[in-house]
Amino acid sequence: MAGKAKILVLGTGGTIAGAGESATTATYKAGQIDASRLIAGIAQLDRIAEVKAETLYAKPSGDLGPREWRALARRVQVAFETSEVDGVVVTHGTDTLEEAAFFLDLLLQSDKPVVFTAAMRPATALGADGPANLFQAVRVAAAPESAERGILVAMNDTVLPGWMAIKTASLPVQAFRAYPGGPLGRVTGERLTYFEPPRRSPLAGRFFLCLDGQRELPAVGIALVHGGCGEAPLAACRDAGYPGVVIAGFGGGTMPAPMAALARRMAKDGVAIVVSSRVGEVAVFPEVMDLREDADVVAASGFLNPQKSALLLSLALAEGRNAAEISTLFGRLPACSGESYGSRL
């Protein structure tokens, strides 16, 4: 790449673009500042890249979902088809950033860097974290060594693999970490250091063909267990008519006996059931959950939390995958290693 890298910043809203009435109030409105104003506020960006900005959405990220993320992925794809964009930065709300990063990782096949960033404090706050995070994300997106790593998240001096990013806290600036696994690198000032060579997630770009689909992706329900809930949370998903349901079970994927019985009946009726867990660090494998993949045609989510599992299940259903194929897809993720596109379902 001759000269400075050309980076496109795509704004979608969130706290990073949020504004409050004063610099010290805890209340604010997300998505108030457009992406060009965000970059205009960081004079130092000129030193590291040629940056352009575009605002796609101005929303709290809880109002974004697969429809908006698919449009976002298409915008990234179109940008990369020109020589005018070497890397993309997406500014996003933290609430669903982990889902968006995971979803784009499943859809996009480009080698060029796509880096999500966000903030826990609004742009108007004393000590706002957004400008530093945006600077770091542009630094990461502009670096040739960020290529072929799939979707990345850059925040708080840390670079995370996008598919592993999880939000673990409601308020502190250090709200994200990678799970399973750890950070890929660090940003210190203008210095970017990677700890390991490039590799992608095992399912990177696996659903590339869904990028252009016009039909809405199938809706997937999530049934969250709590003590003494019986079958009620899953029954609500059955009554809503979802073609697929993720059960956010206890620790290793267990659930009250009435819910397990209902899950078996629903699976027999053709509902795709995936079992995940309500804990922060999810690890659900066939041997520890109540339902068995062979007997009950359900998949274990491995290390995926319920919200990421729901996205993967929705894409698998959109492709018309059967229960055994869905189980194989979920089984690929615990590997945590990059593998060639050719060797997968």
CB nearer to ligand SIN: give 61 or 301.
Answer: 61
Selected from 9, 120, 159, 166, the binder of ligand SIN by CB under 6 A is: 120
Q: How open is the CA angle 210-140-143, to the nearest 5 degrees?
A: 100
Q: Is 293 in the site for ligand SIN (CB under 6 A)?
A: no
Catalytic (active site) residue 328: no
Q: Is 130 in the site for ligand SIN (CB under 6 A)?
A: no
Selected from 15, 55, 117, 254, the binder of ligand SIN by CB under 6 A is: 15
Which candidate, 117, 120, 98, 92, places its Cα nearest to that of 31? 92
Q: Is 95 in the site for ligand SIN (CB under 6 A)?
A: yes
Q: Which of 15, 55, 94, 124 is catalytic?
A: 15
Q: Is 11 in the site for ligand SIN (CB under 6 A)?
A: no
Q: Is 5 in the site for ligand SIN (CB under 6 A)?
A: no
In the region spanning residues 33 to 92, those forming contacts with ligand SIN, defined by CB under 6 A, are 60-61
At residue 223, the 3 state secondary structure works out as: strand
Which candidate, 261, 312, 307, 315, places its Cα nearest to that of 282? 307
Task: Give the interface segment with ligand SIN, choosing from 13-21, 65-73, 101-109, 224-232 (CB under 6 A).
Answer: 13-21
E strands present in 131-265? 151-155, 158-161, 165-167, 176-178, 185-188, 191-194, 220-224, 244-249
Selected from 30, 115, 137, 271, the binder of ligand SIN by CB under 6 A is: 30
The residue type found at 250 is F
Which candidate, 128, 97, 131, places its Cα nearest to that of 115? 97
Contact present, 56 and 71 (Cβ < 8 Å): yes
d(CA 320, CA 281): 30
**Least distance in angstroms from the C-beta of 92 to ligand SIN:** 7
Q: Is 309 in the site for ligand SIN (CB under 6 A)?
A: no
Using CB under 6 A, list all residues that contact ligand SIN: 13-15, 30, 60-61, 93-95, 118, 120
User: Which residues belong to the active site?
Assistant: 15
